[in-house]
A = this chain, B = another copy of it.
């Protein structure tokens, strides 16, 4: 059942049917009704490929994220998908994995789909060396690229970022004020965001005249038990506070404390990141940073719409985070 069939059945030309499908104002109401009736009776669905062929745009955006099973990215995808759909856009999802080459390939593949814009989710896309992100610039030559919590300098690339630096700076400062002098910095990658957090941690120490202890910079796998096991191997560290770049790592630290009989928050204070369900599942409940994922996504979609209307938008938007105090920092 195609546009010709409908035209024949309705006794009009295909041009008129096309106009009805696209709700053009230049069709007589009676004609419109007649055609609509025929379309419904025959369950007519316009072929999206033929439409895409004849037009330059498609109303679809590509979403690439390293791993949708990550709570932060899942929430981001949910939010982006919902909002984009409200604007009539479809989402093509590509979970790339964390490997550099895989990410490059994912972007390459999704670009073939003639999408209207590309959204890169998670700070894992930024960071690293410059040549590692060259594929993002190339993509931006074709369509606008929006980076959710990431940023790469370049024409047609737009970063919407959480102020991870400040959030960690503030959290670290609180621990310092509480008298903590051996604060563990627990991370699981060298993403853009992780580097920002690290800088916040370091600057807070510097600005309070405290040394940065290299042995307290620990990088682990992002699982609760992985983190716990790693820490059990390093009992010598004798830390009195933890700043973690993910809630899962923070919970791992909690499990380590439990396993070794160290009390939280009395002996060790812990701060997590992302305000995920994990942070209220654990015991004691975790003080954590709300990285405002929803706001980032909302801003990204709004910016995209503004851009597609032909207006200019900022190439970098920074959103303030918010520390959610629970019980792992009850001083």
Contacting A251 at CB < 8 Å: which of B53, B77, B258, B281? B281
Cβ of A307 within 8 Å of any chain B Cβ, yes or no, is: no
Chain B's closest residue to A97 (CB) is B82
Judging by beta carbons under 8 Å apart, are B53 and A81 in contact? Answer: no
Chain B's closest residue to A223 (CB) is B277
Chain B min CB distance to A35 (Å): 18
Interface stretch, picked from A106-114, A125-133, A160-168, is: A106-114
Chain B min CB distance to A150 (Å): 20
Interface stretch, picked from A66-74, A234-242, A310-318, is: A66-74
Please tell me how many copies of the chain the complex holds. Answer: 2
For chain A, which range describes its interface: under 10, 10 to 19, 20 to 34, or 35 or more residues? 35 or more
Cβ of A232 within 8 Å of any chain B Cβ, yes or no, is: no
Cβ of A282 within 8 Å of any chain B Cβ, yes or no, is: yes
Cβ of A46 within 8 Å of any chain B Cβ, yes or no, is: yes
When distances are taken between beta carbons in the complex, the residues of chain B under 8 Å from A63 are 93
Q: How far is the CA of A283 from the CA of B258 in the complex (A)?
A: 10
Q: How far is the CA of A75 from the CA of B51 in the complex (A)?
A: 34
**Within residues 52 to 85 of chain A, which ones have a CB less than 8 A from any CB in chain B?**
52-53, 58, 63, 67-69, 71, 74-75, 77-78, 81-82, 85
Contacting A47 at CB < 8 Å: which of B51, B53, B111, B223? B53
When distances are taken between beta carbons in the complex, the residues of chain B under 8 Å from A78 are 67-69, 95
Cβ of A90 within 8 Å of any chain B Cβ, yes or no, is: yes
When distances are taken between beta carbons in the complex, the residues of chain B under 8 Å from A277 are 223-224, 248, 278
Indicate with 1 or 0, residue by residue over A85-111, a CB within 8 angstroms of chain B CB atoms.
Answer: 100001111110000000000000001
Query: Mind listing 21 A-B residue pairs with CB under 8 Å?
Result: A45-B111, A45-B112, A47-B114, A48-B52, A48-B112, A48-B114, A49-B58, A49-B114, A50-B53, A53-B53, A67-B78, A69-B71, A69-B75, A74-B74, A81-B95, A82-B95, A90-B92, A93-B93, A251-B281, A278-B278, A278-B281
